[in-house]
Each structure stands twice: as C-alpha cells, then as structure tokens.
Amino acid sequence: MMISYPDFEKVDIRVGVIVAVENFPEARKPACKLKIDFGDNIGIKKSSARIAKHYTPQTLIGKQVMAVVNFSPRQVGPFMSEVLILGVPDDKNEVVLFSPDIKVPVGGKIF
C-alpha cells in the first residue's frame, strides 16, 4: 500500500539513547525493558523489545536508537510500552536495532 508524504510526516521518528535496561521475564519471547532518553522536549520513555539474541544490558546502555515516539502507549503483558523502538530482522528473524552509525544529537527527528 502506498502512502502519501504528508502521511509519512505524521510519524515522529526520533533518536534516543538507552539509559536503563532490565530483563523482561514475563514476555512470551526473550525481551528487555528499556528506558530511552529523547532529550528535554520528549524526556525519558519506556519500551519493550525482543532484542535479547544480539544485545546484552551492558551493550545497550548508551546506545543510540531510533523510535517512533508518537504512537499511543501499548500494554505488553504487565508493562506499558510508550515508544516503538525500530529494528530489522536478520537472516534468523532476530531483531537488529536501527541506529545512527555516527553519534547525533539526542531527540533529533528523521526527515
């Protein structure tokens, strides 16, 4: 399905930095609970992600990631996810996070 450019502009995709990580044992598939800082205008938001195959809490802290910040919050088991962190599947269908390859200002918006 094709969308118009004005439709795309409604999706607010921002860069944030992961500031906290917890295991999420209640999730159906191995997952982590993340706190992501999107800067002063948006603040710190929570997200859950099935990224345990490629990442450990130690490798995630300080990592810049991209996320959709203007979706409605979504209940994931006992956890309320506030943003959708973006990633793509590898050849085994495991999530690889979408992140800038050069450090950029936190809160920056994709355009």
CATH number of the domain that residue 9 is part of:
2.40.50.140
Half-sphere exposure at residue 94, Cβ-oriented, CA atoms within 13 angstroms? 8
In a domain, 107, yes or no: no
Phi, psi of 88 (to 5 degrees): -130, 150
Q: Is residue 60 part of a domain?
A: yes
Residue 34 binned pLDDT confidence (cut-offs 50, 70, 90): very high
Question: Between 29 and 74, whose confidence is greater?
Answer: 74
- Domain annotation covers residue 62: yes
Domain of residue 13: give its range. 5-97
- Side chain identity, residue 48: S
Tokens (6 digits) for 98: 């979408």
Domain-embedded: residue 48: yes
Furthest-apart CA atoms within the chain: distance in Å: 40
Q: How far apart are CA 107 and CA 100, in angstroms?
A: 12
- Chain-wide mean pLDDT for the chain? 94
pLDDT at position 42 is 97
The four Cα atoms 75, 81, 84, 88 give a dihedral, to 10 degrees, of -80
Q: What is the pLDDT of residue 28?
A: 79
Which one has a higher pLDDT value, 60 or 24?
A: 60
pTM for the structure as a whole? 0.93
In-domain check, residue 111: no
Which 3 state secondary structure label does DSSP give 99? coil
